[in-house]
Amino acid sequence: MPVTPEYELTTDASRGRLSVSGDWTIHTVGKISDRLASEDASGLDGLEVDCAELGKLDTAGAFVIDRFACRSGAGNVEPVNASDQATALLKQAGELRPERDDEARKREFGVVDLLERTGRATMHFIDETVETLSFLGETIMAMAHIVTRPSKMRWTALVSVMEDSGLDAVPIVAFLSFFVGMVVAFIGATTLSEFGATIFTVELVGIAILREFGVILTAIILAGRTNSAFTAQIGAMRMRQEVDAMTTLGLNPMDVLVVPRAFAMLVMTPVLTLIAVLFGVGGGAFVSWLALDINPTVFMNRLQNYVPIENFWVGMSKAPVFGLVVALIGCRQGLLVGGSVQSLGQSTTKSVVQALFSIIVIDALFAIFYLELGV
């Protein structure tokens, strides 16, 4: 039978001493927590907890003792005559205490704290970049190994991922690309009509969709849809310890989980980009026909004559890179998931954010590169 918990509180000036006895566990602490909470011991600078007669203690009991110390204004609890286990539990409860000190709150918004957080965020960004590049190198080596030994490729997994990330994404890519093409044509028509040059809407739609919007829209959709799915799938396997089981069976998680997804994205992203380009141009042609009275035949002829084909190849050249980035970040964050659902949610969010950030940065680098080449 558990021993009923009891306590004796004595105060001396600004110091307090709490002598506890009996079992302070989740099954018994309810009998004492309300009585302890009603004690008027505010204004204490420190609180000693005498554990000489303490029986059993768990996190619930340590929580009640530490919250009493927090309400009384004391700092850290000072265990006396306590075992190592009781000391560790009281220390752990103190680390979870909410911040109460006004000066500490002010320091959170101080210049020093701002610089500290900025430096910490910068170092975290550098570490993430280095680790991502390291994972990229490992992925490329694994892909090269599979290319030299095609018999090791898991073709069923490859086809399944191609269907999930590619074929199933066709409707949303086509739908959004069509309306983005319509928006670009509307904006172009509204702006160019002020100069009496609405016919140049064809060139605007062609260059914008072929060169940028087609591939960027596809990459963003994949970052939000496929990237998060990769992280959630692999993260769930990490939570169920399936990845550890693969390693125990002698299977390389890179070959089983990462390589099929990377190859699938390399193949399907250009295909989805081509579909996005076709439907984007179709949306622009549709608006030009209805709002500008530009016949679709005239639209296509002008598109062929005045929009260089290099714009199409510029957009398509970005597609495999964006696809590899989406697969790379999604798989890496999935492999970093811990054993909790909260970790899975954090990794999924981080995966999508990193993918979107990387896509925009890489697209800017591509723009600078092609600008220097004069393409």
Give the model confidence (pLDDT) of 328-362 as tens digits.
Answer: 999 999 988 877 778 888 889 999 999 999 999 99
- Residue 357 maps to a domain: yes
- Residue 113 maps to a domain: no
The residue from 47, 72, 100 where one domain ends is 100
309 token code pair: 């084909």
- Residue 41 maps to a domain: yes
- Residue 13 maps to a domain: yes
Alpha-carbon span 202 to 215, nearest angstrom: 19
134, with CB counted inside 10 A (0-12, 13-18, 19+), is exposed
84 token code pair: 């190592």
The residue from 100, 123, 155 where one domain ends is 100
- Residue 330 maps to a domain: yes
320 token code pair: 């495999």
Q: Mind listing the pLDDT tens digit for each residue in 65-114?
A: 888 887 777 667 788 888 888 888 888 777 766 554 444 444 556 778 88
Of residues 34 and 248, more confidence is placed in 248
Alpha-carbon span 13 to 50, nearest angstrom: 18
Q: What percent of the chain has pLDDT over 70?
A: 94
Same domain, 87 and 180: no
Q: Mind listing the pLDDT tens digit for each residue in 116-156?
A: 888 988 998 899 889 989 999 999 999 998 888 888 888 88
> Residue 218: what pLDDT?
94
Alpha-carbon span 275 to 177, nearest angstrom: 8
Q: One-letter amino acid identity for 177?
A: S
> Residue 170: what pLDDT?
92
Do the beta carbons of residue 237 and residue 243 sit within 8 Å? yes
- Residue 15 maps to a domain: yes
- Residue 238 maps to a domain: yes
Prediction pTM value: 0.68
| Count of structural domains within the chain | 2
Same domain, 144 and 90: no
Residues 6+ apart with CB under 8 A from 76: 69, 91, 94
Same domain, 283 and 331: yes
53 token code pair: 């007669």
Q: Mind listing the pLDDT tens digit for each residue in 202-255?
A: 888 999 999 999 999 999 999 988 999 999 999 988 888 888 888 888 888 888
206, with CB counted inside 10 A (0-12, 13-18, 19+), is buried
250, with CB counted inside 10 A (0-12, 13-18, 19+), is exposed
Same domain, 80 and 181: no
Same domain, 221 and 152: yes
Range with top average pLDDT, 34-48, 67-81, 183-197, 356-370: 356-370
What is the edge-to-edge ordering of all strands in the sheet holding 77-80? Answer: 6-12, 15-24, 46-57, 77-80
pLDDT at 318 > cutoff 50: yes
Q: Mind listing the pLDDT tens digit for each residue in 279-300?
A: 999 999 998 888 888 888 888 8
Domain that holds residue 225: 138-373
Same domain, 230 and 365: yes
Same domain, 81 and 226: no
Q: Which range among 16-25, 139-148, 358-367 shows the weakest confidence by mean pLDDT? A: 16-25
> Residue 101: what pLDDT?
45
Average pLDDT for the chain: 85
CATH number of the domain encompassing residue 52 = 3.30.750.24
> Residue 199: what pLDDT?
85
> Residue 280: what pLDDT?
93
- Residue 110 maps to a domain: no
Same domain, 359 and 218: yes
> Residue 291: what pLDDT?
81
The residue from 76, 100, 124 where one domain ends is 100
